[in-house]
């Protein structure tokens, strides 16, 4: 029973990846086509967005089946972190779109999700195993879930900041009357609007990350007998928190708004990804639960 369920989970995940891949191609075409050809590409963007919902549903099914197969939350090793983490990234993207139209981020979001899922499924797949005693805690449910949710918001903020930087270049080129290959961005919100969107999403991510940090310390105190010990994973969680605090201050500092604060958002998300991949895989520490 468990075996069958986890196999269906894998099947469902691979189907989700196939659909994400198609959505990614369509989103990219949409982003790259010029405003004048807008008719066709607007259709592409709509289809791609619908496909992202489909992929999300398939991935959600995969994740839920994995959880049932294991009789626990499906986030207890690297493969499962990737599965749930990318699910959250897509979820935040889809839900944010109910409020603001940020479909133009689709290429970034499906791209990030595809890369992470591809790596996880091919390199880090592990069979379902029970939780070791150190992970048997409701803090696993809360702490890791909120961390992945925060990652979803940071991913969106990152994508917006990349676009903001590109948009800024285009705007400068337009003002100076120089040529630019970024003309297709003319349809998107201007750099300031992109920056404002990025900021709103990142502060939500930051609040969630602050919670993750505190919850992690409480859990560490229960499991390891100290709330903070500069374990590698703790160090990187702290670094990410400080980087994003820097980002928030940059937005409030004259001369740091715009490009510089966007670059900080990129560095912050770089650190999030580093923490999730390199630190989990190569660094030794107490958090060596990733089940590699």
Partner 1 sequence: MSPRSSVMDSTEPPAPVRNAKLNLAESGRWVWTQLTSMRTALILLLLLAIAAIPGSLLPQRAADPNGVTQYFSANPDLAPVLDKFQLFDVYTSAWFSAIYLLLFVSLIGCVIPRTKHHWDALRQQPPRTPSRLDRLPGFTEREFSGVAPEAALSAADRVLRAARYRVVRYERDGVLSVSAERGYLRETGNLIFHFALVGVLITVGLGGGFAYNGQRVIVEGQAFSNTLIAYDSFSPGRFFSDSALQPFNITLNSFTTRYEERNANAIGQPIDYTADVTTTLRGGDPTPAVIKVNQPLNIGGTSVYLLGNGYAPVITVRNAAGQVIFNDAVAFLPQDKNFTSVGIIKLPDGLPTQLGLVGFFYPTVSTGHSGASFSMYPDLLDPMVTLNVYQGDLGINEGLPKSVYALDTSGMTKLTGTKTDLPSLEMKPGETAALPNGMGSVTFDSVKKYVSLDVHHDPAQGWVLGFAIMAMLGLFTSLLIPRRRMWVSIQPVEKTKKLLVEYAALARGDDPTLEAAVGHIVDAHIRDLGLTRD
* C-alpha closest to that of 106 among 24, 216, 225, 200: 24
CB of 219 to partner 1, least distance (A): 8
Rounded distance between C-alpha atoms, residue 212 and residue 42, angstroms: 38
Please give the residue ranges that form the binding site for ligand HEM (CB under 6 A).
245, 248-249, 251-252
Write out the two tokens for 48. Answer: 């791609």
Rounded-to-integer distance, Cα 260 and Cα 195, Å: 11
Binding-site partner at residue 273 among ligand HEM, partner 1, none, CB < 5 to 8 Å by type: none
Residue 124 sits at φ, ψ, to 5 deg, of -120, 20
Phi/psi at 254 (5° precision): -60, 135
Residues between 192 and 251 with contacts to partner 1, criterion CB under 8 A: 196, 199-200, 203, 206-207, 210-211, 214, 217-219, 221-232, 235-236, 238-239, 242-243, 245-246, 249-251
Signed CA dihedral, 121, 126, 128, 133: sign only: negative
- Residue closer to ligand HEM, measured from CB, 131 or 248: 248
Residue 10 interacts with partner 1 (CB under 8 A): yes or no: no
Sign of CA dihedral 174, 180, 184, 189: negative
d(CA 54, CA 152): 18
The half-sphere exposure of 203 on its side-chain side, counting CA atoms within 13 A, is 9
Q: Shortest Cβ distance from residue 11 to partner 1 (Å)?
A: 18
Minimum CB separation of residue 224 from partner 1 in Å reads 7
Q: Which residue is nearest to ligand HEM (CB)?
A: 252
C-alpha distance from residue 126 to each of 88, 177, 206, 241 (Å): 21, 55, 31, 30
What three-state secondary structure class fits 75?
coil
Q: Of 126-155, which residues contact partner 1 (CB under 8 A)? A: 126-134, 136-137, 139
Kindly tell me which of 54 and 192 has the beta carbon lying closer to ligand HEM: 192
Shortest Å distance, C-beta 260 to ligand HEM: 15
The binder of 172, among ligand HEM, partner 1, none, by C-beta within 5 to 8 A per type, is none
Q: How many residues bind partner 1 (CB under 8 A)?
A: 58
Determine contact, residues 36/100, Cβ cutoff 8 Å.
no
DSSP per-residue codes, 164-179: HHHHHHHHHHHHHT--
Under the criterion CB under 8 A, does residue 68 sit at the interface with partner 1?
no
270 touching partner 1, by CB under 8 A: no
Query: Binding partner of residue 131 among partner 1, ligand HEM, none, CB under 5 to 8 Å per kind?
Result: partner 1
Q: Which residues bind partner 1 (CB under 8 A)?
A: 2, 126-134, 136-137, 139, 196, 199-200, 203, 206-207, 210-211, 214, 217-219, 221-232, 235-236, 238-239, 242-243, 245-246, 249-256, 264, 279, 283-285
């Amino acid at each position: 029973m468990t075996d069958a369920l986890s196999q269906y989970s894998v099947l469902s995940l691979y189907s989700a990846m196939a659909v994400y891949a198609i959505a990614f191609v369509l989103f990219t075409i949409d982003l790259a086509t010029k405003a004048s050809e807008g008719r066709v590409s607007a259709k592409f963007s709509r289809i791609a967005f619908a496909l992202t919902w489909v992929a999300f549903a398939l991935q959600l099914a995969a994740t839920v089946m994995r959880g049932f197969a294991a009789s626990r939350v499906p986030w207890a090793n690297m493969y499962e972190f990737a599965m749930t983490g990318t699910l959250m990234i897509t979820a935040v993207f889809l839900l944010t779109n109910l409020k603001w139209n940020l479909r133009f981020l689709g290429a970034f979001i499906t791209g990030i999700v595809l890369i992470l899922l591809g790596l996880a499924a091919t390199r880090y797949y592990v069979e379902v195993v029970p939780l070791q005693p150190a992970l048997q805690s409701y803090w696993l449910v809360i702490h890791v879930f909120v961390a992945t949710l925060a990652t979803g918001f940071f991913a969106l903020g990152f994508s917006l900041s990349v676009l903001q930087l590109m948009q800024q270049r285009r705007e400068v080129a337009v003002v100076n009357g120089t040529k630019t290959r970024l003309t297709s961005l003319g349809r998107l919100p201007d750099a300031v609007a992109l920056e404002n969107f990025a900021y709103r999403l990142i502060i939500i991510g930051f609040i969630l990350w602050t919670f993750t940090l505190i919850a992690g310390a409480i859990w560490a105190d229960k499991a390891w007998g100290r709330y903070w010990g500069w374990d590698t994973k703790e160090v990187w969680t702290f670094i990410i928190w400080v980087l994003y605090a820097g980002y928030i201050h940059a937005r409030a500092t004259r001369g740091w708004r715009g490009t510089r604060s966007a670059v900080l958002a990129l560095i912050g998300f770089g650190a999030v990804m580093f923490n999730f991949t390199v630190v989990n895989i190569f660094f030794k520490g107490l958090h060596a639960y990733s089940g590699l």
